Chain A
Amino acid sequence: MAVQSTHNVVVPLEQSTDQEGPYYALFNSLAGSIDVIDQSVLEGLGLLSPLREDVGEYLSRRGYLFASEEEERGQARLLYEEMLRFHRATVRQPIVVIPSYNCNLKCPYCWQRLHHLDSPVISREMVDHLFSVALPALIETSSPDRVALTVFGGEPLQEEPALQDRVVQILTLGKDAGFTNGIITNGVGLGKALPRIVGKVDVLQITFDGPPDVHRKRRPLPGGDSFAPLATAVSDALAAGIRVRARVNVDESNLEHLPELSDFARSLGWLDNPRMYFHLAPVKNHNPRHCAPSESELLLKVLDLADRDERMRAFDLSGFGGIKYFRGFQESGLFSLHRFFNCEAQINCWVLDLYGDLYACWDSAGLKHLAVGRFHPAVEIDPLALGRWRNRNALDIPACRQCAAAPHCGGGCQFIAYEHHGDHAAPACDSLLASYVQAIGRNTGWLLQRARAGDHAVGLVTRDGVVTAVNRLFGLLDESPELIDAISCS
């Protein structure tokens, strides 16, 4: 007797209640499969035994049915280990350098501010040591263009001469090594930094929290203006050929102002510039004493606003994982993510700070009790401390074992899990499953079209049997590999 996969999710396709319907999307995050089924198949899945033999066989091959729960758990472990290997081999290894924890802004939602992080500036000797001794020991790839070097903070582009020198030193050494260089900045000091960094940086991540007045209020610069210099510098950076990823931290307090930010961006020509890219990122609750609305509730409000106001099209919603991954599915016909880990802290990310401390996770940097070792005077890694990050996966978190989203969310952010529960191995649920359900529900027409076309992205299974089968492992790529030319995490 077969059992249903733990990771099956059924989403009603509401626009399909014509004479042929109703239809449902059967989605499985372990298999990475979506098929459209009708009422008879839905009922058969619930009871299992009345399924037609060919239907049962197809649903089993697509990963919706297993011989037993033990069989599925074994397959899930196999997938986890193989996807770790694949991710390591394919995705750029993140290397993060923190030249100072000092920041000139006082954003109320900042987790670093919650922990009162501040510091002097990294020394020239420490930077030299970092590149000559530490990175050769920490970088896995022999291909330097597979390393994503990011300068992070605090704020790395402040008008502090020693900090300015060190940032240029880091970028220069990174370029000389062949890395892809990025800076995460609040943009206030970007204008004055540009002449020094042009040609040494490939991409900037800059945060906008709304139109000028909203941004200034949420990202205050004591005694100054956090927005005007940022806006001027972004245009200058784009003109200099630097890509700009504009991150918009969104919560309920600034959401309704985002269409105004869209207007502002359009007025400066940013929305027509291929080097500029806006994406929304939900503000994470780093304070366990603070009660915040769930990310899933925020997602619904974001989507509602996007429905009401076309200016929201300026913003990619990829900060909500299910929206991002479903879009990838629409482009390629496959979900490439079946992994049980949440981020590179669980794989090969290294964060190196001014003190010579080594961390696995960006967010944990500066909290010495979460360091996983040191890189100065020599590289020394604490295997137990590192293992808490690298070994965490949703397969081993009891609360995640029966969750349909676990293969993709990987237990959520483990830093937030630690902040809220004092335990890396606790779950930190976000909006992933809700965003999948929303993405599926909002693409009913596309799913039905694909299912009827039989183009190996989505199958159709009805009382008549397997009407259109997915029988190509690479979805739309088998026939049109030019659709996808590269995978990159930048």
Chain B
Amino acid sequence: MTTAQIVQETPKTPISVSKMDIEALKDYTDQMAKFASGDGVVAIRICECCVLIQD
């Protein structure tokens, strides 16, 4: 990476779940639940028993 490349502005809000307050965290998990509510390819691995299955 060269110095000529543009340095981006960083946002002022948390960009990690470990920095969120409870309200932001609930919004985050609500959105995650929406991602989880559809049908199709199983791809997010969130616990020990998860396996990839093409339905």
Would you give the shortest CB distance from B18 to chain A, in whole angstroms?
4
Tell me the complex Cα distance, A82–B33, Å.
13
Would you give the shortest CB distance from A316 to chain B, in whole angstroms?
7
The A153-188 residues at the B interface (CB cut-off 8 A) are: none
Q: A324-B45, A487-B42, A487-B44 are in contact. Are A466 and B10 (CB under 8 A)?
A: yes
Which one, A110-118, A336-344, A393-401, is touching chain B?
A336-344
Are B8 and A78 touching (Cβ within 8 A)?
no
Chain A residues with Cβ below 8 Å from B50 are 318, 324, 487-490
Chain A residues with Cβ below 8 Å from B2 are 20
Chain B residues with Cβ below 8 Å from A61 are 10-11, 13-16, 19
Are B40 and A89 touching (Cβ within 8 A)?
no
Which one, A249-257, A367-375, A478-486, is touching chain B?
A478-486
Question: Which size class do A's interface residues fall under?
Answer: 35 or more
| Chain B, residue nearest A94 (CB) | B49
| Chain B, residue nearest A413 (CB) | B48
Are B17 and A31 touching (Cβ within 8 A)?
yes
Would you give the shortest CB distance from A80 to chain B, in whole angstroms?
11
A129 within 8 A of B: no
Tell me the complex Cα distance, A454–B10, Å.
12
Tell me the complex Cα distance, A78–B14, Å.
15
Are A63 and B18 touching (Cβ within 8 A)?
yes
Chain A residues with Cβ below 8 Å from B36 are 90, 486-487
B-side interface mostly: loop
Would you give the shortest CB distance from B8 to chain A, in whole angstroms?
5
Are B45 and A327 touching (Cβ within 8 A)?
yes
Chain B residues with Cβ below 8 Å from A321 are 48
Q: A483-B43, A487-B44 are in contact. Are A318 and B52 (CB under 8 A)?
A: yes
Chain B residues with Cβ below 8 Å from A465 are 7
Q: A54-B10, A75-B18, A466-B8 are in contact. Are A487 and B39 (CB under 8 A)?
A: no
Chain B residues with Cβ below 8 Å from A489 are 46-47, 49-51
> Which of B25, B35, B51 interacts with A279 by CB under 8 Å?
B51
Tell me the complex Cα distance, A57–B16, Å.
12
The A33-82 residues at the B interface (CB cut-off 8 A) are: 33, 54, 57-58, 60-63, 72, 75-76, 78-79, 82
Tell me the complex Cα distance, A434–B41, Å.
28
Which one, A190-198, A212-220, A303-311, A468-476, is touching chain B?
A468-476
Are B33 and A86 touching (Cβ within 8 A)?
yes
Are B19 and A87 touching (Cβ within 8 A)?
no
Q: Which of B7, B43, B47 has the most CB of A within 10 A?
A: B47
| Chain A, residue nearest B48 (CB) | A343
Chain A residues with a Cβ under 8 A of chain B: 5, 20, 28, 30-33, 54, 57-58, 60-63, 72, 75-76, 78-79, 82-83, 85-87, 89-91, 94, 203, 243, 245, 274, 277, 279, 316, 318, 321, 324-325, 327-328, 331-332, 336-338, 342-344, 452, 454, 460, 462, 464-474, 477, 481, 483-490
Q: Please, could you name 30 A-B residue pairs with CB atoms under 8 Å apart, sorted by A?
A: A20-B1, A28-B16, A31-B19, A32-B17, A61-B19, A62-B19, A63-B16, A82-B22, A86-B29, A86-B33, A90-B32, A243-B53, A245-B51, A316-B52, A324-B50, A331-B43, A337-B47, A343-B47, A464-B1, A464-B5, A464-B7, A465-B7, A474-B31, A485-B38, A486-B36, A486-B38, A486-B42, A487-B36, A489-B49, A490-B42
3 closest A-B pairs by CB: A485-B40, A63-B16, A487-B36
